[in-house]
C-alpha cells in the first residue's frame, strides 16, 4: 500500500489522502442505481462551462442511469487546497480537473483510479492516438491516472493598438526582423507605460503570488526551479539570478510590468501584452482593440516554449466511480476532444495540426496556432511540478516575497529560496 508523500496542503488533507490510500477508497460504482456526477473545475468562464454542459447533456441522453452531471468551479487561487479539503472531508467529487503542478501528488498518492483499461476498451476511443509526451506527467508504473485534456503552451497576446499609440513596433514586425526577444519586448512594454499610462506587460495569474508562472520568463535564460530529478534547488543558479535581475529591473526601474498591488487586465484593454494560454482567447471581445497572438520572446538561451497542463482524473473516493470512468471516456473521445480543442489543446496526435485546431478556434489564425500551440507542444517544457508541490510552493512564495521591493538584493533572496526548499527537495 503506497501512500506517497501526499498532498501537503493542510494536515487534514494529508490525513485524508493517507486514509484513502490505505483503505483503497470507497466509492459506490453506481451501476445498480441512478448516479449524479460532480466534477470540480477551475474555470467559471461561461463559454467553457456551456461546452462542458453541452457534452454532458448529450451523454445523458444515452445513459439514463446518470441523472445529472454538475461542473463545480472552485476559485483558481485556492483550487488545489479546496479540492484536497473536500477529499479529506469525505466530500470528494467524482471527477476533478488537476493542475500540472499538483499532478505528481495526485498520481502518487492513490487518490485517482487508473484510466488505461477503460479508455483502451471504449469503442472508437483510439487510445493509441494519444501522444506519449503529454501523458508522462500523469503516469506511474506504466498506468495513466489523469487524462491531460489540456496541453496548452503559453504565448503572448498583444494589443497592437496600444503598441502603435506608443510608437512601438508590433511583435509581428519584430519577429519578421528576427528581433522578438525579451529585451525588445520589455522595451516596448516600458514605452507603452510611459507614453500611455497603461500597463506594458502582464504575466497573467502571477500577481506576485503564482510564482510558477514566472517559468514562462526564466526558462528563456535556461533557468529552472529545480533539477530534472527534482533533488536540487535551481533558484540560486547564475541563470536564475540573471533572469530575475532582469525581471526586477523591468518591474521597479523600467515600469514595464505593473508593480505589486497593481492589477491590469489585458482583455479589458488595460495592458499592451499578456503572457497566457489560448483558452483565454474567449475573453477577447469583437471590436475591442486590434490584437495578435505570438510565441514567447526569445531569451539569452534562444527560443523556447513553456506548457501548462490540466488533467482529468476519477477520484477513488467518489460515489460513482464506474459512471465517472465512463463519462470521462465519453468527454475525451475523438469527437468531443475536437470540440474541447477550441479552448484546450488535446493530446491527440491527429488533432494537433493548425488546420484541425483552426476549425474550432475561429478567433485564431492557422499561423498563430502553428507557431504558438503546435510548435509549443512539440518543443515545450512543462511548468514546475514536484511531489509535495503545495508545501514547496508555499515556501517558495514566502521566500520570494522580499524580492518584490525596489531595493531587493536579488541574489541574496534567491539564495534564501534554496535554503528554504533544499531540505524538502532532498527528501
**Please, which pLDDT band fits residue 221 given cuts at 50, 70 and 90?**
very high
Instruction: Say if 4 falls within a structural domain.
Output: no
Q: How many domains does the chain have?
A: 2
pLDDT digits (tens, 9 = 90+) for 36-82: 999 999 999 999 999 999 999 999 999 999 999 999 999 988 899 99
Residues 279 and 334 in one domain: no
Residues 264 and 412 in one domain: yes
Instruction: Say if 34 falls within a structural domain.
Output: yes
**Grid coordinates in use for 168?**
512601438
Res 123: pLDDT? 97
CA 217 to chain CA centroid, Å, is 15
Instruction: Say if 67 falls within a structural domain.
Output: yes
Q: Any idea what the Cα angle at residue 198 is, between residues 195 and 202, rounded to 5°?
A: 125
Instruction: Say if 2 falls within a structural domain.
Output: no
Burial 57-94 (b: 16+ CB within 10 A, else e): eebbeeeeebeebebeebeeeebbbbbbbbbbeeebbb
Residues 360 and 411 in one domain: no
Separation between Cα atoms, residue 71 and residue 254, nearest integer Å: 43
Would you call 184 exposed, middle or buried from its count of C-beta atoms within 10 A (0-12, 13-18, 19+)? middle
Of 47, 18, 13, the closest CA to residue 282 belongs to: 47
pLDDT digits (tens, 9 = 90+) for 112-151: 999 999 999 999 999 999 988 899 999 999 999 999 998 8
Instruction: Give DSSP secondary structure letters for 1-26.
Output: ---TT--BTBHHHHHHHHHHHHHT--
Residues 356 and 283 in one domain: no
Of 171, 189, 168, the closest CA to residue 179 belongs to: 171
Expressed as residue numbers, the domain containing 334 is 11-152+308-382
Res 182: pLDDT? 98
Instruction: Say if 370 falls within a structural domain.
Output: yes
Instruction: Say if 98 falls within a structural domain.
Output: yes
Instruction: Give DSSP secondary structure letters for 235-253.
Output: TTSHHHHHHHHHHHHHHHT
Residues 59 and 168 in one domain: no
Beta carbons of 252 and 270 less than 8 angstroms apart: no
Residues 407 and 396 in one domain: yes
**Grid coordinates in use for 180?**
522578438
Across the range 343-357, mean pLDDT stands at 90
Residues 282 and 392 in one domain: yes
Instruction: Say if 3 falls within a structural domain.
Output: no
Residues 32 and 78 in one domain: yes
pLDDT digits (tens, 9 = 90+) for 238-294: 999 999 999 999 999 999 999 999 999 999 999 999 999 887 888 888 778 999 999
**Please, which pLDDT band fits residue 3 given cuts at 50, 70 and 90?**
very low
Residues 283 and 398 in one domain: yes
| Three-class secondary structure of residue 163 per DSSP | helix
Residues 301 and 406 in one domain: yes
Across the range 231-244, mean pLDDT stands at 98
Count of Cβ atoms closer than 10 Å to residue 406 Cβ: 9
pLDDT digits (tens, 9 = 90+) for 160-175: 999 999 999 999 999 9
3-state helix, strand, coil in the chain (%, to 5): 45, 20, 35
pTM: 0.82
Residue 26 has pLDDT above 70, yes or no: no
Res 32: pLDDT? 55
Residues 273 and 199 in one domain: yes
* 390 or 60: which leads in pLDDT: 60
Instruction: Say if 1 falls within a structural domain.
Output: no
Residue 8 has pLDDT above 70, yes or no: no
C-alpha torsion 13→19→21→22, nearest 10: 160
Residues 211 and 333 in one domain: no
Beta carbons of 199 and 272 less than 8 angstroms apart: yes
CATH code where residue 339 lies: 3.40.190.10
311 forms beta bridges with 98
Amino acid at each position: 500500500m503506497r501512500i506517497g508523500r501526499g498532498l501537503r496542503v493542510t494536515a487534514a488533507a494529508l490525513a485524508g489522502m493517507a486514509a484513502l490510500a490505505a483503505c483503497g477508497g470507497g466509492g459506490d460504482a453506481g451501476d445498480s442505481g441512478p448516479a449524479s456526477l460532480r466534477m470540480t473545475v477551475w474555470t467559471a468562464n461561461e463559454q467553457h462551462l456551456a461546452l462542458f454542459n453541452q457534452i454532458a447533456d448529450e451523454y445523458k441522453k444515452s445513459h439514463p442511469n446518470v441523472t445529472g452531471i454538475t461542473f463545480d468551479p472552485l476559485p483558481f487561487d485556492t483550487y488545489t487546497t479546496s479540492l484536497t479539503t473536500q477529499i479529506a472531508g469525505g466530500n470528494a467529487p467524482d471527477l476533478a480537473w488537476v493542475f500540472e503542478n499538483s499532478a505528481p501528488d495526485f498520481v502518487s498518492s492513490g487518490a485517482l483510479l487508473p484510466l488505461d483499461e477503460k479508455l483502451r476498451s471504449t469503442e472508437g476511443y483510439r487510445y493509441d492516438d494519444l501522444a506519449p509526451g503529454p501523458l508522462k506527467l500523469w503516469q506511474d508504473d506504466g498506468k495513466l491516472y489523469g487524462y491531460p485534456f489540456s496541453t496548452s503552451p503559453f504565448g503572448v497576446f498583444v494589443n497592437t493598438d496600444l503598441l502603435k499609440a506608443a510608437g512601438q513596433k508590433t511583435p509581428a514586425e519584430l519577429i519578421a526582423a528576427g528581433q522578438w526577444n525579451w529585451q525588445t519586448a520589455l522595451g516596448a512594454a516600458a514605452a507603452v507605460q510611459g507614453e500611455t499610462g497603461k500597463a506594458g506587460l502582464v504575466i497573467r495569474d502571477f500577481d506576485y503570488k503564482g510564482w510558477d508562472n514566472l517559468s514562462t520568463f526564466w526558462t528563456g535564460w535556461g533557468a529552472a526551479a529545480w533539477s530534472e530529478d527534482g533533488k536540487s534547488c535551481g533558484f540560486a543558479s547564475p541563470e536564475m539570478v540573471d533572469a530575475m535581475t532582469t525581471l526586477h529591473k523591468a518591474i521597479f526601474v523600467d515600469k514595464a510590468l505593473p508593480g505589486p498591488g497593481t492589477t491590469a487586465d489585458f482583455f479589458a484593454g488595460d495592458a499592451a501584452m499578456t503572457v497566457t494560454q489560448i483558452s483565454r482567447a474567449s475573453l477577447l471581445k469583437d471590436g475591442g482593440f486590434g490584437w495578435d497572438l505570438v510565441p514567447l520572446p526569445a531569451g539569452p538561451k534562444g527560443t523556447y516554449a513553456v506548457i501548462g497542463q490540466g488533467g482529468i482524473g476519477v477520484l477513488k473516493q467518489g460515489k460513482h466511480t464506474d459512471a465517472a470512468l465512463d463519462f470521462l471516456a465519453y468527454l475525451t473521445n475523438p469527437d468531443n476532444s475536437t470540440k474541447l480543442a477550441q479552448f484546450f489543446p488535446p493530446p491527440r496526435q491527429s488533432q494537433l495540426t493548425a488546420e484541425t485546431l483552426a476549425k474550432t478556434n475561429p478567433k485564431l489564425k492557422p499561423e498563430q496556432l502553428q507557431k504558438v500551440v503546435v510548435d509549443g507542444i512539440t518543443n515545450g517544457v512543462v511548468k514546475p511540478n514536484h511531489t509535495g508541490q503545495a508545501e514547496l510552493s508555499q515556501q517558495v512564495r514566502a521566500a520570494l516575497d522580499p524580492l518584490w521591493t525596489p531595493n531587493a538584493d536579488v541574489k541574496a533572496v534567491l539564495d534564501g529560496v534554496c535554503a528554504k526548499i533544499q531540505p524538502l527537495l532532498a527528501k
